């Protein structure tokens, strides 16, 4: 069997981390098994349609390297790949159910249905639409909702490769809408038809669909379709681990993370490790390593907590792994405005110094601005330092005068000679590195963070270093 999986997003807004993981796992499985990964756009809910959302989804997948074999921008032999272009297909299948007596036109108004719900509540029993099914429904002409007719409610048992053997009784089955009054199919109907016609062998999606699986199985049976392998993934949980991650808990658009300077390698690595591991202590995986090692039997059943700090740590690891030339291309839009007047060679040198300190590309201006422009003096950096705040202004000026005069004696200005001089200054002043080096770093950069001190001063040059120190004497 050639494996075929799919990702079927709805263009209803931005794509967040939960959406991407729902694409990543089936993509990994397909790439490992040499199958086909299909992208399908489920755009039948016209009330929630957001213009431009589809392009945002496609661009995000392309940025992450989650490529697809069939679908928008690619074409394929199983199209159309937009549900809104497949209405005739759904209606053809719906008519088959009507002819078999397994679907009927729903004549009730929303108010009448609400009355049925209240009646069931008064009788202290669960509301099931099939208990109020019309005895003589009108002929379906497409202007009324079409409902699936459950003829023999029974228990269904199925095996989920992640969640194990599952089952549900007759109480989970009910008459549900197949085609809405506007002529568009519901998800419950359309995805089953699409997956069958597109030859999908594995449906991998979120845990929220597990409660609907019995309904899907009853419809597969009615349509005489053999179900594909149904896989439910555990939720990505909010940072507190108590509920499913939502927009209020940090489920930002993946585009926002991209703008914030998260690398696609890090995001892919991070999402793959949320709910899956290869059984080792390894945390950093390349794209190819994820493909080689992924398996559904290593996906955990419990939810994985969303930890943005871990994402930032992982991003920093990836920034340090890529080459300097590669990083230089990626940070093109992140340089501070003042860097525009400097040549590529100098910016390469700056980037080489800060590469090990960056957690995101968006930190580049903060970590590098003082290389391109005179920084604003901020004495709070000194007064908030636990060790430096103990020194009086006079003691600070005296230390800086000693540092200035000793550095001025240097004939060869390079990282090695600067470090030797800094070490000598520790002996001369009797200060600890945490005091003296912190003071020099602050008055030359006026930044909360900076690269290795001797390398920073070497790149500044002797004149700029002495000038910045002298300005505080």
Q: Please give the Cα distance from 57 to 258 (Å, whole number).
A: 13
Global pTM value: 0.90
The reported pLDDT for the residue numbered 47 is 84
Buried b / exposed e over 367-391, threshold 16 CB at 10 Å, is bbbbbbeebeeeeebbeebeebeeb
CATH number of 86-233: 3.40.50.620
SS3 252: coil
The reported pLDDT for the residue numbered 244 is 82
| C-alpha pair distances (Å), 398 with each of 271, 393, 422, 429 | 53, 9, 16, 10
Neighbours of 69 (CB within 10 A): 14
Length of the chain: 473
Question: Which residue ranges does the chain devote to CATH 1.10.10.350?
Answer: 380-470
The reported pLDDT for the residue numbered 248 is 65
Annotated binding site for ATP: 247
Radius of gyration, alpha carbons of the chain? 31
Which residues are marked as active site? 247
Neighbours of 177 (CB within 10 A): 17
The reported pLDDT for the residue numbered 246 is 73
Annotated binding site: 247
Question: Which residue ranges does the chain devote to CATH 3.40.50.620?
Answer: 86-233
Look at residues 453, 447, 422, 437 and name the one whose alpha carbon lies nearest to residue 353. 453
Buried b / exposed e over 116-134, threshold 16 CB at 10 Å, is eeeebeeeeeeebbbebbe
User: Domain 380-470: which topology?
Assistant: Arc Repressor Mutant, subunit A (1.10.10)
The one-digit pLDDT tens for each residue of the chain (473 residues) are 799 999 999 998 888 888 899 999 999 999 999 999 999 999 988 888 889 999 999 999 999 999 999 999 999 999 999 999 999 999 999 999 999 999 999 999 999 999 999 999 999 999 999 999 999 999 999 889 999 999 989 999 999 999 999 999 999 999 999 999 999 999 999 999 999 999 999 999 999 999 999 999 999 999 999 999 999 999 888 887 778 887 666 667 899 999 999 999 999 999 999 989 999 999 999 999 999 999 999 999 988 888 999 999 999 999 999 999 999 999 999 999 999 999 999 999 999 999 999 999 999 999 999 999 999 999 999 999 888 988 988 999 999 999 999 999 999 999 999 999 999 999 999 999 999 999 999 999 999 889 999 999 999 999 999 999 999 98
Buried b / exposed e over 147-162, threshold 16 CB at 10 Å, is bbbbeebeebebebbb
Q: Is the peptide bond before 80 cis (omega within 30 degrees of 0)?
A: yes
């Amino acid at each position: 069997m050639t494996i075929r999986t799919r990702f079927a997003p709805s263009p209803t807004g931005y794509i967040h981390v939960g959406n991407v993981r729902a694409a990543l796992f089936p993509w990994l499985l397909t790439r490992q098994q040499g199958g086909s990964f299909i992208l399908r756009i489920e755009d039948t809910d016209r009330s929630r349609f957001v213009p431009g959302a589809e392009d945002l989804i496609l661009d995000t997948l392309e940025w992450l390297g989650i490529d697809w074999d069939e679908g928008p921008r690619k074409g394929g032999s199983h199209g159309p790949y937009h549900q809104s272009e497949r209405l005739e297909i759904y209606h053809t299948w719906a008519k088959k159910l009507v002819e078999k007596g397994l679907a009927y036109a729903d004549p009730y108004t929303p108010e009448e249905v609400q009355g049925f719900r209240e009646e069931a509540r008064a009788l202290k029993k669960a509301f099931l639409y099939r208990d109020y099914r019309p005895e003589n429904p009108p002929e379906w002409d497409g202007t009324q909702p079409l409902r699936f007719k459950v003829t023999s409610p029974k228990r269904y048992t199925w095996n989920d490769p992640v969640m194990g053997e599952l089952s549900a009784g007759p109480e989970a089955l009910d008459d549900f809408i197949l085609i809405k009054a506007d002529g568009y199919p519901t998800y419950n109907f359309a995805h089953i038809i699409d997956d069958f016609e597109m030859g999908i062998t594995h449906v991998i999606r979120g845990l929220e669909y597990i409660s609907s699986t019995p309904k899907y199985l009853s419809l597969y049976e009615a349509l005489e379709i053999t179900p594909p392998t149904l896989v439910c993934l555990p939720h990505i949980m909010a940072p507190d681990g108590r509920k499913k991650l939502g927009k209020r808990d940090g489920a930002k658009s993946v585009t926002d993370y991209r703008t914030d300077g998260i690398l696609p390698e890090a995001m892919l690595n991070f999402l793959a490790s949320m709910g899956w591991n290869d059984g080792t202590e390894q945390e950093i995986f390349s794209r190819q390593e994820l493909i080689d090692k992924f398996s559904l039997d290593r996906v955990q059943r419990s939810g994985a907590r969303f930890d943005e700090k871990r994402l930032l740590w992982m991003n920093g690891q990836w920034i340090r792994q890529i080459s300097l030339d590669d990083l230089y291309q990626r940070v093109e839009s992140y340089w501070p405005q003042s860097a525009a007047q400097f040549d590529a060679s100098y910016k390469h040198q700056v980037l080489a110094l800060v590469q090990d300190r960056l957690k995101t590309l968006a930190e580049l201006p903060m970590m590098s601005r003082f290389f391109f422009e005179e920084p604003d003096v901020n004495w709070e950096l000194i007064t908030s330092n636990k060790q430096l705040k103990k020194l009086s202004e006079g003691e600070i000026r005296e230390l800086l005068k000693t540092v200035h005069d000793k550095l001025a004696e240097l004939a060869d200005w390079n990282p090695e000679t600067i470090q030797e001089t800094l070490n000598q200054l520790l002996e001369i002043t009797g200060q600890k590195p945490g005091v003296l080096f912190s003071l020099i770093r602050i008055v030359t950069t006026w930044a909360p963070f900076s690269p290795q001190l001797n390398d920073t001063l070497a790149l500044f040059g002797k004149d700029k270093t002495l000038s910045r120190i002298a300005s505080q004497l």
